[in-house]
Structure 1
Amino acid sequence: MNEVTRTTGDIVQKLWSLCHILRDDGVTYNEYVTELTYLLFLKMMQETGREERLPHGYGWTSLAAKQGLDQLEYYRHLLLDLGDTKKTTDPTVLAIFTDAQTKLRKPANLKALTSAIDKLDWYSAREEGLGNLYEGLLEKNAAEKKSGAGQYFTPRPLIDCMVRLMKPKPGETIEDPAAGTGGFLVAADRYIKDATDDLFELTEAQAYFQRHHALSGLELVPDAHRLCLMNLMLHGIEGNVDCGDTLSPDGEALAKADLILTNPPFGTKKGGGRPTRSDFSVTAETSNKQLAFVEHIVRAMKSGGRAAVVLPDNVLFEDNTGRRLRSWLMELCDLHTILRLPTGIFYAQGVKTNVLFFTRGKTDKANTEAVWVYDMRAGQPSYGKTRPLRIEDFAEFKAAFGDDEHGGAERQDQGETGRWRSFTREEIAARGDNLDISWLRDGEDEAEEALQDPDDITAAILGHLREALREVEALAEELEEGSEELSAVVEAAE
């Protein structure tokens, strides 16, 4: 680890340790990160000389100078006014502070936070990038299993692998319809900046497009949306990520994209509700969010556009709507690659996952000729606190995938004893379009026996329970679909 990274890591650790101050104030981990977002926003506006974005009279200097109850009252009024359209005109500031409320009740705790933040090494933090500092804080929160924030956070090594294989380019529109805290969008932006000397190789118009219009998306959860906007802003991105439901008309309003990178939420739609999209046909009657997100992604892709999507195993094998969706996907798109991810990456959700890589066809017929499957799960160590995922773990898969972002590089089938195999469209059809393809001994039981950290062991048990519940929900939905189809047949016969 170099010195700059160590400095940022030290700051993140100090910020995270402050959460202990708030325990007796009844503040949870997620509430603490949201609270820190408000305070860090004000401090970072001061550090970057952008306090003109705030209404006159509000700012870090005024807040930090106050004491006791005066400081807490000022802070409460500040949060209300920064989210008030009558007092704040900056759209990003408004979005971050909409419905903002402090969970702090004791003036001493607010003073402890503002004093500690003032004492941090802000010069070094600016040198490395305030965005990196904030991302480090989000990662820390996601790694803390008690926070439950893992549902909004995809591991950085996996994001980096997906981005490098999809090769985002300047001028492309890039979308994440389940943006979470913005990890995919930040990584795609960083990839483009690294390739263009921080956008200096682009024309002024191209650079403006990159900062203001290239990136878009939606995030359903208001607090996650807040964190996302802060993350994007600190990375120099004024992207168009709104708070909304992709499976509603909000999703229809998203523009067509050249590249979609996403990890949609797992589970069923709240209350068992169906998508409310007028353009949905395949998944209009399902409450399974992952299936519905796949339909959105296909419909949101430009002709020739590409996607890399994290999806749980059930999307690959579910019958009825699931099977119809997979058949439809392989007609409209070239589903060229499936990566079977190892266990332990998404213990918060408790499911086995994959990455699907596909390209939207120029026509709507017979676009998938073969699907290549890489098994990174069988016989692999179980990842967790004692064995974190690293970018190096994807090296063999990246080499097998090749250098073509559309999956068109020359590939070599490794046979039944290897991890990399090709299956023709005819072979998949013979399986009933079931894409849950494995041929190596799983070795999962042995991997879980090797788990040492109590949190990892508990998470693995919870994972199995959640997956079992998910399978019961899927079965119930299939039975309901079958019942509806039978009723329709009976009505037609009568």
Structure 2
Amino acid sequence: MARGKQATNDKTKSLATRQSVDQAVKSICDIMRRGSVTSAVQYVPELTWMLFLRVLDETEQREQLEASALNIRFTPSLPEPYRWRDWGAPDGAKRQALESQPQGDFFKFINDDLIKFLETLEHQSNATIRQILISEIMRNVGKTRIDTEKNLRDVLDKVHLLSSNAVDDTHVFALSQVYEGLLLRMGEKNNDGGQFFTPREVIRIVIEVLNPQIGETVYDPCCGTGGFLAQASVHMRNTLLENNGSPDAFEQLAERTFYGREKESLIYPIALANLVLHSIDHPHLWFGNTLTNQELSDKLFKGAPPTFTVIATNPPFGGKEGIEAQTQFAYKTGSTQVLFLQHVINSLDSNGGRCGIVVDEGLLFRTNEEAFVQTKRKLLDECDLWCIVSLPGGVFTQAGAGVKTNLLFFVRGRPTERIWYYDLSDLKITKRKPLTRLHFDDFLRRLPERSDSDCSWTIDLSERKAALKCEAQPFLDQAHAKRQEAAPFGQRLQQLKAAPRTEQDAAAIAEIEAVFLGLTKEARALENKAQDIENQLYDLKAVNPHRSADVDERTPAQLLEFIAAKGREIDAVLAELRD
């Protein structure tokens, strides 16, 4: 009996160290994998709603005690028996009653009663933000994915050990850090969650550079699992703690600071839970397609401002959008990132709103499509694109994307005069050697002065624009001369065609028209050549002027001899293998 009692106590005792919490989460994932929940994309959403309800119940128990001490009325978000302490805790009254009933009753309560009740909370009259949040997180759960009641009870026992108040001997750690570890598993290449995942170090650097402050609004139009918003919360909360921030400031941070959009039904509730675990009581997330503006739920986004102080985001790489999305924008293209860049510019406060965005290399260098050029012209005309960081090629490899990427930092409200570049492209980043903060130390050290080095340089846009205009001018002059030469032929052609049809000289018309069209075509080609030269201003790719290009200076004869020598080596190896 004593042993049984001890077991119950073990099941209800919170874990006290980061290591023990990590081990508990690993155990939960292992239990889920015993059944049909085999990948992180499956078990992270399952653990998300359970962990959220566990933390919610713990939070409301604490709030109830505080309200009681102050003699203030407290209304919980959930009634009995739907609170975690009733059905999830090992000693919960509802759980013990269910465990004493026939096999299958526990599943029936979870799937047919609990989940359905939680899904419909937001439809109650006067539903609170927290109740809406519960329903939004539960909106696509439907039923538990865990296959047996034994596995379900084991998972609940482990989740109950996870506490938002867990501490060890040296520091307090947030459960959010553990949850980030779970999201990292989703972001791994073989888990199909990489499209929603931005490497943590990239997120931290972007937020550190943007340095959001209390009173500002932070927005991510394609927030995925909420990484940028969560890190912004950590950054701003640490600032408050260091400066003894007021209760009002903490309340503003939790309630009226963070805004985002996400279209994936799998990811949206995960983002909500992630932000709640990062002490964001009201995550203002809009569920729907940002680019088409088709919303599935805007209940948490109501009252959001039309523009934002800070935007931090990583739009999807390589996406293709249809007409429905393109019609929402001035410069129409199928490129997802180009449309998102237009959305971001339009969503920034017009007087000093600032942005950090991850873009692929193609967006920077492409000038062969009108929408790319016009969007970058809008960026340079309306915003101060003050910094571009060229990231190493392997940064997104773990997430299944080998694309070369860059960080863009800009401020809306003034045109770009100079761009400071920092080049990290020579770094060799792999899964075993990931990007770390150390790789950004020199960048952060040079950032205040934007100083030059082997890895950094500044481009003066006005000088570059003048140089390109000078280069293009001869072609414009030639085009002008061609059009002047064509003008008399055009006038004569009009005169001939204006004559009565019976008096028209078809041969003369054809001859003059051929000359006129030929000269006009030549003029147009010269004008296009000049425009192509001037459009090079919008090729923003980082090309480090301090590094000479590797040029093979061998003669054709030397190259042929090299190839022949390699061929002889291969022949010798093959002959040896045959012997």
- Shorter-normalised TM range: 0.7 to 0.9
Query: Measured at CA, do residues 209 and 121 of structure 1 come closer, stay the same or move farther in structure 2, by a change above 3 Å?
Result: closer
Aligned pair count reads: 417
Structure 1 residue aligned with 2:42: 31
| Per-residue deviation, 1:145 | 2.7
Q: Are positions 1:265 and 2:301 aligned together?
A: no
Q: Say whether the 8 Å CA contact 1:247–1:277 is kept in structure 2.
A: no
- State the shift of 1:256 in Å: 0.6
Question: Residues 118 and 171 of structure 1: is their aligned pair in 2 closer, same or farther, counting only changes over 3 Å?
Answer: closer
Q: One-letter code of the match for 1:267?
A: G
- Larger mean Cα displacement after TM superposition, 333-342 or 68-77: 68-77
Where do 1:372-391 residues align within 5 Å? 372-378=420-426, 380-384=427-431, 386-391=432-437
Q: CA deviation at 1:169?
A: 0.8
Distance 1:390 1:436 in 2: 23
Determine which of 108, 111, 126 is the counterpart of 1:76.
111
- Corresponding position: 1:396 with 2:437: no
Q: In structure 2, what is the Cα distance between the partners aligned to 1:86 and 1:75?
A: 20
CA shift at 1:180, angstroms?
1.1
Counterparts of 1:24 and 1:340, CA distance in 2:
43
Partner of 1:18: 28
Three-state SS of the structure 2 residue aligned to 1:197 is: helix
Q: Quick check: 1:131–1:235 contact (8 Å CA) kept in 2? A: yes
| C-alpha displacement of 1:277 | 5.7
1:322 pairs with 2:372: yes
Output the amino acid matched with 2:540: L
CA pair 178-441 structure 1, distance change in 2 beyond 3 A? farther
Amino acid at match of 2:108: E
Matches of 1:36 and 1:11, distance apart in 2: 14
**After superposition, what is the alpha-carbon deviation per residue over 1:409-462, rounded to whole angstroms, capped at 9, x for unaligned?**
x33223xxx11011121465433411112234799xxxxxxxxxxxxxxxxxxx
1:468 corresponding residue in structure 2: none
1:19-418 pair list within 5 angstroms: 19-23=29-33, 25-27=35-37, 28-50=39-61, 52-64=76-88, 65=95, 66-67=98-99, 68-77=103-112, 78-84=114-120, 85-86=122-123, 90-101=131-142, 102-119=144-161, 124=166, 127-142=172-187, 144-197=188-241, 201-202=245-246, 204=248, 206-237=249-280, 238-249=282-293, 255-269=306-320, 272-275=322-325, 278=328, 280-282=329-331, 285-302=332-349, 303-318=351-366, 319-320=368-369, 321-347=371-397, 348-362=400-414, 367-378=415-426, 380-384=427-431, 386-402=432-448, 410-414=449-453, 418=454
Which stretch of structure 1 is more off in the superposition, 329-338 or 216-225? 216-225
From the superposition, tell whether residues 193 and 61 of structure 1 become closer, same or farther in structure 2 (CA, over 3 Å). closer
The letter for the 2-side match of 1:157 is E
Give the superposition deviation at 1:107: 2.1
Change (3 A) 1:299 1:86: closer
Task: Give 5+ residue unaligned stretches, structure 2.
Answer: 1-14, 65-75, 89-94, 296-300, 469-535, 551-579
Please give the alpha-carbon distance, in whole angstroms, between the structure 2 residues aligned to 1:442 and 1:96.
52
Question: 2:384 aligns to what SS in structure 1?
Answer: strand
Give the aligned residue type for 2:293: P
Q: 1:33, CA displacement in angstroms?
A: 0.4
Q: Which amino acid aligns with 1:112?
A: D
How far apart are 1:187 and its partner, in Å? 1.3
Matches of 2:109 and 2:167 in 1, distance apart?
Answer: 27
**Offset of residue 328 of structure 1:** 1.6
String of CA shifts for 1:176-231, please: whole Å, max 9, x gaps: 11111111111112212111227852362x44322211111111112211111111
Deviation at 1:123, TM superposition (A): 5.4
Write the letter of the residue equivalent to 2:452. Answer: D
How big is the shift at 1:325? 1.2
CA distance 1:110–1:209, change in 2 (3 Å): same
**One-letter amino acid matched to 2:356:** A
Distance change in 2, residues 1:322/1:17 (3 Å): farther
- Asked if 1 retains the 8 angstrom alpha-carbon contact of 2:217 and 2:258, the reply is yes
Contact 1:69–1:107 (CA under 8 A) maintained in structure 2: yes
2-side partners of 1:123 and 1:173: how far apart?
Answer: 28
The 3-state SS of whatever aligns with 2:231 is helix
Q: CA deviation at 1:349?
A: 2.2
Decide whether the 8 Å contact of 1:182 with 1:228 is kept in 2. Answer: yes
* Deviates most, 54-63 or 118-127: 118-127
Q: Are residues 276 and 63 of structure 1, via their aligned partners in 2, closer, same or farther at CA, if it must alter by over 3 Å?
A: farther
Contact 1:323 1:432 in 2 (8 A): no
Contact in 2 for aligned 1:249/1:277 (Cα 8 Å): no
SS of 1:338's equivalent in the other structure is strand
Q: CA deviation at 1:264?
A: 1.1
Q: TM-score scaled by structure 1?
A: 0.78
Deviation at 1:135, TM superposition (A): 2.3
Q: 1:262 to 1:13 in 2, by over 3 A?
A: farther
> C-alpha displacement at 1:109, in angstroms?
2.2
Identity between Structure 1 and Structure 2 (%)? 29
Which protein is bigger by CA-based radius of gyration? Answer: 2
Which of 539, 543, 551 is the equivalent residue of 1:434?
A: 539
- Mapped to 1, the partners of 2:538 and 2:17 lie a distance apart of 51
Note if contact 1:33-1:141 (Cα within 8 Å) is conserved in structure 2.
Answer: yes
Matched position secondary structure for 1:210: helix
Please provide the CA RMSD for this pair. Answer: 2.7
Counterpart of 1:128, as a letter, is F
1:69, 1:441 → 2: CA distance? 71
Q: Go from structure 1 to structure 2 and tell me whether the alpha carbon gap of 1:250 and 1:170 turns closer, same or farther (over 3 Å shift).
A: farther
Partner amino acid for 1:48?
A: T
Q: Please list the CA deviations of residues 455-486 of structure 1 after superposition, one character each: whole Å capped at 9, or x if unmatched.
A: xxxxxxxxxxxxxxxxxxxxxxxxxxxxxxxx
Q: Secondary structure at the match of 1:255?
A: coil
CA distance in 2, matches of 1:167, 1:375: 22
Q: Which amino acid aligns with 1:169?
A: Q
Q: 1:368: how far off?
A: 0.9
